[in-house]
Amino acid sequence: MEYDEFSNIYSDALPGLVRLKDRLDETLSKIVEPLAHIDRCQCRVKGAKSAYKKYVNKYANHSSPLANFEDLVAARIIVFFTSDIPVVRTALLDNFDRVERTEKKPEFDDQFGYESEHLVFVVPPHLKPDTTAEFCPSTFELQLRTILMHAYAEPQHDILYKSSGEIPKTIRRRLAWIAASCWGADREYEELRRWSEAIGN
Amino acid sequence: MRLVHFHAFAVSASNWDEAPNIQGGRIQADTQIEALIAKNVQKAKFDNCLESVFETDDSRHNDMRELIRRHAFGDDNAADEAAKEISERLSVAMDNRSHPALLLIASEKDGPICQVSLWTFPRDEALRLINQKTASLQVLTDIFSQTSRLRKAAFFKGGQAKTEFLGGKILDLQSGGGPKAVADFWLADFLLSMPAIRPKAGTQMIAKALIQCAKETADLTEQQQLQSAAMSIRSGPKQKWSPKEVAENFFNADLAARFQSKFPNVATYNTSIEIDQDTYADSLNFAVYRLDSGVIVSSPFSEIGESVRITGTPEEGNRLSCEGRVVSQKVRSPNGVR
């Protein structure tokens, strides 16, 4: 399928996606409101070009072009400390049915790179539209990570997304150093949080 | 939709350590069978039924989801094996309180989309009048009732994408109305599923709708209806309530309409919600107080902190004060009989 055809299909789906994003924004804000150490909670709708790139790479054989996407509407919750991640996860599981959970991290123990928790949830009935005429995906993705995991992930994605071809070894090594620094800083902050709690802060 | 696989099994309860008590297999589809399925699907009104999701592990796996998909999209052999395993699972999920039943599994296809419906019809007894030379009655014991309130059904529809067949629609008229172990055997033990609205989220929605309605009405009758609903949800034997059931059981038509408007859509309004009592108490802030003098004070939730005030600490003993104009009065005997 060429981009123009895909884009037309996507345009038809877009109003439904935007409305789902708005409802999800509101619901997630209420869920995290009583929780401590939330840096931000935001939702987004996937752009048509980004969706097409994914479609071509992964889903082109499927007869229904949008059926396999789970991140057409996606959310991200950024927390201060690593120990906040299970707290937020529990609050989310109180409200949504999880179909998949992946801890993204480097394959080997001596590697440093992208780290994040990815959850796929079923869109519950109360977030669905009142009419079947409006497009609504059956699932949404939520990424859950610390500020420092995010500090590595976002610039790294920007740099690698815009580059073409093989990434030079020195660049990969420098990125790994940034990832390692963020990993270490996360542990330091966790220790400091425990110290802060111990002295009654 | 074209019927591609259809299986029927007579199923009775069996223990996990004995051979599943099932008899049956593939049934050749004909127009009568197709009409039977169409009639039952139409009668079930699945759009108004409980929305469910399969309880998956971290990697989206659920045994029943796989079996149902295999019945829908597999060839004859795969569908036969899936149907047999589904019937065996039903036999194990049933206990001695479950009635022997007829299990029907139907997969229908239209292009890349399949719909699978599962039915159990409980065994019944019927009488046949044989009127030849002399009239006599014959007792039929090998029949199954399509109209029993004990019948159950599940309906799944979708394609083969990973985002599809994650949940379905459930017809279970016993659900939430009795002991949890019996009520949940169809949804939880057999289908390995749960309601699509989580108990905490659903309970908050119901509590919030009750509070909003209470704040919007000054009518004493409606306030009493809201209080009755709030108290029944809190202390009654029923564990699951759909907002629609709350409205139908307690509210007049006007209040029911306002209550329904607090929910985002019809599916939510119709969905049965397992009440999380802790969340309910936290959300509703509604209480009936018994004082040391024997006085019982029942307060609308919107008035707590307003005309009904609680002061002091639990250690010292809370004190209640209430002030307002008396607009009606009822006399009751000590046991509550008027």
Highest average pLDDT, of A180-194, B86-100, B122-136, comes from: A180-194
Domain total of chain A = 1
Pairs across A and B, CB distance < 8 A: 81
Nearest residue on chain B to A28, judged by CA atoms? B201
A101 CA to chain B: closest CA distance, Å? 5
By the CB < 8 Å criterion, does A60 face chain B? no
* Cβ-Cβ contacts under 8 Å, A23 against chain B: 264
Angle between helices B63-73 and B76-93 (to 10 degrees): 150
The pLDDT value recorded for residue A48 is 94
Three-state DSSP at B121 gives: strand
Contact B199, B234 (CB under 8 A): no
Q: Determine whether the interchain pair A126/B201 forms a contact, defined as Cβ–Cβ distance below 8 Å.
A: yes
Angle between helices A147-162 and A169-198 (to 10 degrees): 170
| Residue-level length of chain B | 338
Q: Is the pLDDT of residue A91 over 70?
A: yes
Q: What percent of chain B has pLDDT over 70?
A: 88
Q: Is the pLDDT of residue B326 over 70?
A: yes
Enter the DSSP assignment of B73: H
Closest CA to A32 of A122, A99, A95: A95
CATH number of the domain to which A97 belongs: 3.30.460.10
Mean pLDDT confidence for A49-67:
87
Q: Which of A99, A122, A125 sits opposite B267 (nearest CB)?
A: A125
* Cβ-Cβ contacts under 8 Å, B54 against chain A: 99
Lowest mean pLDDT: which of B35-44, B45-54, B77-86, B278-287?
B278-287
Cα angle A122, A123, A129 (rounded to 5 degrees) comes to: 155
- Tens of pLDDT along A73-90? 999 999 999 999 999 999
Q: Is the pLDDT of residue B336 over 50?
A: no
Burial A158-190 (b: 16+ CB within 10 A, else e): eeeeeeeeeeeeeeeeebeeebeebbeebeebb
Three-state DSSP at B93 gives: helix
Q: Is the pLDDT of residue B332 over 80?
A: no
- Tens of pLDDT along A124-142? 999 999 888 899 999 999 9
B309 CA to chain A: closest CA distance, Å? 25
Mean pLDDT confidence for A43-66:
89
CA–CA distance, A97 with A85 (Å, rounded to integer): 17
For residue A19, being part of any structural domain is answered with: yes
Mean pLDDT confidence for B157-172:
91
* Cβ-Cβ contacts under 8 Å, B59 against chain A: 100
A200 CA to chain B: closest CA distance, Å? 25
Q: Which of B112, B197, B200 sits opposite A125 (nearest CB)?
A: B197
By the CB < 8 Å criterion, does A139 face chain B? yes
Mean pLDDT confidence for B226-234:
87
Contact B13, B120 (CB under 8 A): no
CA–CA distance, B33 with B108 (Å, rounded to integer): 12
Closest CA to B273 of B304, B241, B303, B247: B241
Q: Which of A68, A95, A99 sits opposite B60 (nearest CB)?
A: A99
Q: Is the pLDDT of residue B128 over 60?
A: yes
For residue A72, being part of any structural domain is answered with: yes
pLDDT band for position B275 (cuts 50, 70, 90): very high
Give the tokens for residue B196: 């699509």
For residue A192, being part of any structural domain is answered with: no
Provide the mean pLDDT of chain B.
Answer: 85
- Residues 99-118 on A with a CB inside 8 Å of B are 99-102
| A contact test, residue of B59, B65, B162, B274 with most A CBs within 10 A | B162
For residue A55, being part of any structural domain is answered with: yes
Rounding to the nearest 10 degrees, give the CA dihedral for residues B325, B330, B336, B337.
Answer: -170
| Residue-level length of chain A | 201
The pLDDT value recorded for residue B84 is 96
Alpha-helix runs per DSSP H in chain B:
31-44, 63-73, 76-93, 180-183, 199-216, 220-235, 243-250, 253-260, 266-270, 277-284
CA B167 to chain centre: 15
A126 CA to chain B: closest CA distance, Å? 5
- Tens of pLDDT along B17-32? 778 888 899 998 888 8
ipTM confidence: 0.87
By the CB < 8 Å criterion, does B310 face chain A? no
Q: Determine whether the interchain pair A138/B197 forms a contact, defined as Cβ–Cβ distance below 8 Å.
A: no
The pLDDT value recorded for residue B62 is 96
Highest average pLDDT, of A142-146, B132-136, B220-224, comes from: A142-146
* Cβ-Cβ contacts under 8 Å, A60 against chain B: none
The pLDDT value recorded for residue A102 is 95
The pLDDT value recorded for residue B338 is 41
- Residues 157-186 on B with a CB inside 8 Å of A are 159, 161-164, 166-167
Give the tokens for residue B101: 């039943």
pLDDT band for position B328 (cuts 50, 70, 90): confident
- Tens of pLDDT along A161-178? 767 778 888 988 999 999
For residue A66, being part of any structural domain is answered with: yes
CA–CA distance, B224 with B251 (Å, rounded to integer): 9
Q: Is the pLDDT of residue B119 over 50?
A: yes
The pLDDT value recorded for residue B44 is 82
Mean pLDDT confidence for B64-93:
96
CA–CA distance, B142 with A160 (Å, rounded to integer): 68
Q: Is the pLDDT of residue B175 over 70?
A: no
For residue A23, being part of any structural domain is answered with: yes
* Cβ-Cβ contacts under 8 Å, B266 against chain A: 130
For residue A185, being part of any structural domain is answered with: no
By the CB < 8 Å criterion, does A64 face chain B? yes
Q: Determine whether the interchain pair A130/B266 forms a contact, defined as Cβ–Cβ distance below 8 Å.
A: yes
Q: What percent of chain A has pLDDT over 70?
A: 100
Mean pLDDT confidence for A43-57:
93
Q: Is the pLDDT of residue B337 over 50?
A: no
**Between residues B45 and A162, which one has the greater pLDDT?**
B45
Lowest mean pLDDT: which of A59-63, A145-149, B79-83?
A59-63
Contact B33, B113 (CB under 8 A): no
- Tens of pLDDT along B281-303? 888 866 677 788 888 787 776 67
3-state helix, strand, coil in chain B (%, to 5): 35, 30, 35
Three-state DSSP at B235 gives: helix
Q: Which range marks the domain in which residue A36 is found?
A: 3-147
The pLDDT value recorded for residue A151 is 95
The pLDDT value recorded for residue B182 is 47
Q: Determine whether the interchain pair A94/B200 forms a contact, defined as Cβ–Cβ distance below 8 Å.
A: yes
For residue A95, being part of any structural domain is answered with: yes
By the CB < 8 Å criterion, does A126 face chain B? yes
The domains of chain B are located at: 2-195, 199-322
**Between residues B216 and A76, which one has the greater pLDDT?**
A76
* Cβ-Cβ contacts under 8 Å, B198 against chain A: 93-97, 124
Phi and psi for B11 in degrees, rounded to 5?
A: -125, 130
